[in-house]
Amino acid sequence: MTTGDRNKRYGLREAVYLIEIVRGLGVTIRHFFRRRKFAMNYPEEKLSIVGNTKQIIKTMDKDAQRLSERPEIVMNARGKHKLLFDGDLIRCVACKMCETVCPFFAIYIEPEESRDPRKERAPKVFELDLTRCAYCGYCVEACPENAITMTSDYSLIAKQRPELVLQKETLKRVIE
Amino acid sequence: MPTFEIDGKKITVEQGKTVLEAARDNGIEIPYFCFHESFKSGGLCRMCLVEIEKMPKLQTACTTVATEGMVVKTTTDRVRQARSAILEFILTNHPLDCPDCDQAGECVLQEYAHRYGPDRSAFTEPKQLREHIALSELIAYDPERCIMCERCVRYYRDIVGSEELAVMYRGAHAEITTFPGKLLTYGYVGNIADLCPVGALTTSDFRFKERVFNLRATETVCPLCEAGCLIYADAKLYTVYRVRSRNPMVRSIHAHENRNVTSFYPKPYIDAISRSSYICDDGRLGYKKLLNDNHRAIPAGPDNRLASGNNDWSSIIAFVAQKIKQSGAKTAGIISPFATNEEAYAFMYMIKHAAGGSAIGMLRFPEAKEYVSAGKLRLRRGMQAPNANGIGQIAKAFDIRLLSHDEVIGSGPAFLYILGPSFDQMDPLVDRLGAIPCVVAQDFRPSRLTERAHIVMPGMSYAQKDGTYTNGEGRVQRLRKVVRTEGEARDDLSILSDIIAGITGKRIGGFDQVLGTLMKEVPSFASIDFDGLTGDVGLRKAAGRLW
């Protein structure tokens, strides 16, 4: 039935509203007894991380229902960033490629002399403003040293905005 | 005038020109590292190898003098292979960490490696790691990046004349050093960072501050002495990050174009450019002194004595105009030699024609001293301010005898207008201003004077406005706006022009209109070509020479 078709003449079933009301309620009642749960007790419960997008697309045909059954997040989703450290030394050379490429001006870098003999410079300050970031991943692509990556950590919870401006120390992930 | 052929193109050049210069002047690219117009060619980098008919081996274009009937080829496979091999050889110990290096973005080696370099290296041995050496407080030297073009060594030998740099050791161990335990003398050190085609020599002033590809270079004039060297000011948004000489070599490579500065201008301008290939260290570091980070939020100072209590621009300009009208012939002014020619004209017009006063003084700045006493390179001249000559000429055209600032205060004016920036030069006299009923200061930088003055109007620094300066030689040179302005500061010329409009109701216009008036009314500006000023060199006509 098209909406707003004023010239259409309705039959008896439509004219008596009661039948349609009962039909509508039927849908509601069916979902009530089916008890499929979508809401979660976030942040105590979190989305479970499954495979990556490629695997999921492969299995999608067989198991088309699976995605709607339980909320999930894929492993290669773009979440909070990490700066990689080789042991004690940061990989970043403060070349400002990410700062330059960032479309949202979310990154701020101040270079200094590096302690690493193989490198000339290192970041004295590395600030990443998550309130500005749109998780486009350009910084990861631009990085010549593979010093920045994105994790699947999607939860950005903070009591105050400054907490979402991440510093070098809070972004640290040590690679052994 | 020998005629010879490069890549099938017939070229006639002056006697004694090298193949490299001839090719460059005619738009044929031959890559090079070590050649520089101001020194003797050394044939050190071997990058400019070309094939010359009837010569069995490839020849360096920078040392081969063009002769009649020569046939030069720059695009053959042999030449291409040689270039690629030379680059591979240079890159054996050169670190391939361009993101790490400050020169990336303006590096000649980076550019040539992209254009002519091999995509791989036959050398599998690890690269040498070497420590940085400080050649002076201003210069850091990184031996691993050095390609031994010896431009810096030849600069000290041929241009400065003090032979402070030399090459030590041989082969892969070669490095540039000073005498043991000695550093380079302050004065003309910074130029070697401009000359260096790679990132081996960097100034501590700019090191790690900003990436060069984020900066915008503006052609302007150094305001720190009367020599008025032509400079590039590299800036991003509100900040000037460094000042460079307008070294023609560096520029033509930066432009990533196959063009050459020398071919655009007739001879006198080439002299002017090559004279401006080098700047002194004071000029290089001086931008910090002139940067404007102290703009006031409101146009007027906190204790401005305006009856209405309004501190906005229009009330202050109306107040000043009314005061000048009241004071009439008792209006006096002191102008800083940092004012541009246009501001000087507007200022003198305001005092002489609009108010009818005649006591106009110019601030005196200390003389610029030469640093390297033994050297050949002498750039610093006259007063440590840019425009004393220009202001003097405009005063002459107005029939004004420029007094000293002492005499102006002594003449007992009812109204004193001080057009800054005064850079603390007025400070000793501030206590004597008590007898003057109204003192107005226009400056971009807080000083004792701005604390004492009744009205303070924030103007702009040299990096924020357009104008012209006349240097001691009489050349009129273009000052350009380099950075944007924060706060409520206004262009000095527009403030003056608004005040004049407030007194007489007549507008004198902006920078270009005032310059047009100057050309009509002041004899030494008469032959200036406006188009010439908008060009790169920004100068015409040497008039009213001081030396």
- Tokens coding B414: 């009812």
Burial B188-206 (b: 16+ CB within 10 A, else e): bbbbbbbbbbbbbbbbebb
Helix or strand run (H / E) with residue B108? helix B108-116
Burial of A35: CB neighbours in 10 Å, binned 0-12, 13-18, 19+? exposed
Question: Do β-strands B139-141 and B438-443 pair in parallel, antiparallel, or remain unpaired?
Answer: unpaired
Percent of chain B at pLDDT above 70?
86
Q: Is B545 within the bounds of a domain? A: no
**Judgement on whether residues B35 and B137 belong to the same structural domain of the protein:** no
At A123, is the pLDDT very low, low, confident or very high (cuts 50, 70, 90)? Answer: very high
CATH number at residue B56: 3.10.20.740
B341 pLDDT exceeds 60?
yes
The secondary structure of residue B429, as a DSSP letter, is G
Question: Which residue's structure tokens are 């001086």?
Answer: B286
At B200, is the pLDDT very low, low, confident or very high (cuts 50, 70, 90)? Answer: very high
CB within 8 Å: B129 and A118 = yes
At B65, is the pLDDT very low, low, confident or very high (cuts 50, 70, 90)? Answer: very high
Closest residue in A to B200 (Cα–Cα): A120
Cα B184 to chain centroid distance, Å, stands at 22
Q: pTM for this structure?
A: 0.82
Tell me, what amino acid is at B148? Answer: M
Residues with Cβ within 8 Å of residue A114, at least 6 apart in sequence: A89, A93, A120, A121, A122
pLDDT at B171: 87
The secondary structure of residue B18, as a DSSP letter, is B
Q: How many domains does chain A have?
A: 1
At B297, is the pLDDT very low, low, confident or very high (cuts 50, 70, 90)? Answer: very low
Question: Which residue's structure tokens are 């920036």?
Answer: B421
Backbone angles phi, psi at B19, to 5 degrees: -60, -40
Q: Is B299 within the bounds of a domain? A: no
Mean pLDDT (chain A) is 83
Q: Is A101 within the bounds of a domain? A: yes
Burial of B509: CB neighbours in 10 Å, binned 0-12, 13-18, 19+? middle
CATH number at residue B226: 3.30.70.20
A67 pLDDT exceeds 70?
no
Q: Which of B245, B269, B290 is the last residue of a domain?
A: B290
pLDDT at B269: 45
Instruction: Give the separation between CA B30 and CA B43, rounded to whole angstroms.
Output: 13
pLDDT at A39: 74
Instruction: Give the separation between CA B391 and CA B397, rounded to whole angstroms.
Output: 10
Q: What is the pLDDT of residues B39-50, one digit of tens each?
A: 788 889 999 999
pLDDT at B361: 92
Instruction: Give the separation between CA B221 and CA B231, rounded to whole angstroms.
Output: 6
Give the residue among B326, B268, B354 at the shortest CA–CA distance from B529: B268
Q: Is B42 within the bounds of a domain? A: yes
Are B328 and B525 spatial neighbours (Cβ–Cβ below 8 Å)? no
pLDDT at A127: 95
**Judgement on whether residues B249 and B331 belong to the same structural domain of the protein:** no
Residues of B in contact with A118 (CB under 8 A): 129
| Nearest CB to A96 within list B98, B129, B211 | B211
| Nearest CB to B100 within list A93, A100, A117 | A93
Three-point CA angle B484, B485, B488, nearest 5°:
155
From B95's Cα to the closest Cα of chain A, the distance in A is 9
Q: Is A117 within the bounds of a domain? A: yes
Are B86 and B117 spatial neighbours (Cβ–Cβ below 8 Å)? no
Q: Is B154 within the bounds of a domain? A: yes
B263 pLDDT exceeds 60?
no
Instruction: Give the separation between CA B214 and CA A101, rounded to whole angstroms.
Output: 11
The secondary structure of residue B71, as a DSSP letter, is E
At B227, is the pLDDT very low, low, confident or very high (cuts 50, 70, 90)? Answer: confident
B255 pLDDT exceeds 50?
no
Predicted ipTM of the assembly: 0.76
pLDDT at B29: 84
pLDDT at B41: 83
CB within 8 Å: B211 and A95 = yes
A125 pLDDT exceeds 80?
yes
pLDDT at B537: 41
Q: Is A62 within the bounds of a domain? A: no
A65 pLDDT exceeds 70?
no
pLDDT top residue among B357 and B533: B357
Tell me, what amino acid is at B1? Answer: M
Angle of helix B77-90 relative to helix B108-116, nearest 10 degrees? 140
A60 pLDDT exceeds 70?
no
Q: Is B310 within the bounds of a domain? A: no
Q: What is the pLDDT of residues A1-28, one digit of tens each?
A: 455 667 777 788 777 888 889 999 999 9
Q: What is the pLDDT of residues B509-547, one digit of tens each?
A: 888 889 888 888 888 787 666 655 544 344 444 444 444
Instruction: Give the separation between CA B123 and CA A113, rounded to whole angstroms.
Output: 29
CB within 8 Å: B100 and A119 = yes
| Lowest-confidence pick of B114-118, B300-304, B489-493 | B300-304
Instruction: Give the separation between CA B398 and CA B401, rounded to whole angstroms.
Output: 9
Residues with Cβ within 8 Å of residue B270, at least 6 apart in sequence: B261, B262
Q: What is the pLDDT of residues B305-328, one digit of tens each?
A: 555 566 778 888 888 899 899 988
Are A50 and A56 spatial neighbours (Cβ–Cβ below 8 Å)? yes
Instruction: Give the separation between CA A123 and CA A110, rounded to whole angstroms.
Output: 6
Q: What is the pLDDT of residues B376-399, one digit of tens each?
A: 677 787 888 999 989 998 999 999
pLDDT at B456: 84
Quote the strand ranges of A4-106, DSSP E.
48-50, 72-74, 81-86, 89-90
pLDDT at B370: 78
Residues of B in contact with A93 (CB under 8 A): 97, 99-100
pLDDT at B292: 53
**Judgement on whether residues B338 and B449 belong to the same structural domain of the protein:** yes
At B287, is the pLDDT very low, low, confident or very high (cuts 50, 70, 90)? Answer: confident
Give the residue among A142, A141, A150, A146 at the shortest CA–CA distance from A171: A150
| Nearest CB to B208 within list A111, A118, A145 | A111
Structural domain harbouring A111 = 73-175
CATH number at residue A162: 3.30.70.3270
Mutate to test the interface with B, among A92, A93, A120, A148 (most CBs of B within 10 A): A120
Instruction: Give the separation between CA A167 and CA A96, rounded to whole angstroms.
Output: 15
pLDDT top residue among A131 and B445: A131
pLDDT at A137: 93
Instruction: Give the separation between CA B413 and CA B430, rounded to whole angstroms.
Output: 15
The secondary structure of residue B34, as a DSSP letter, is S
Closest residue in A to B132 (Cα–Cα): A120
Residues of B in contact with A109 (CB under 8 A): none
Residues of B in contact with A121 (CB under 8 A): 100, 208
Most confident segment among B167-181, B254-268, B508-522 = B167-181
**Judgement on whether residues B262 and B373 belong to the same structural domain of the protein:** no
Q: Which of B30, B57, B80 is the last residue of a domain?
A: B80
Structural domain harbouring B163 = 93-290
Residue B134 touches partner A, C-beta closer than 8 Å? no
At B179, is the pLDDT very low, low, confident or very high (cuts 50, 70, 90)? Answer: very high
Query: Is B121 in a helix, a strand, or coil?
Result: coil
**Judgement on whether residues B437 and B531 belong to the same structural domain of the protein:** yes
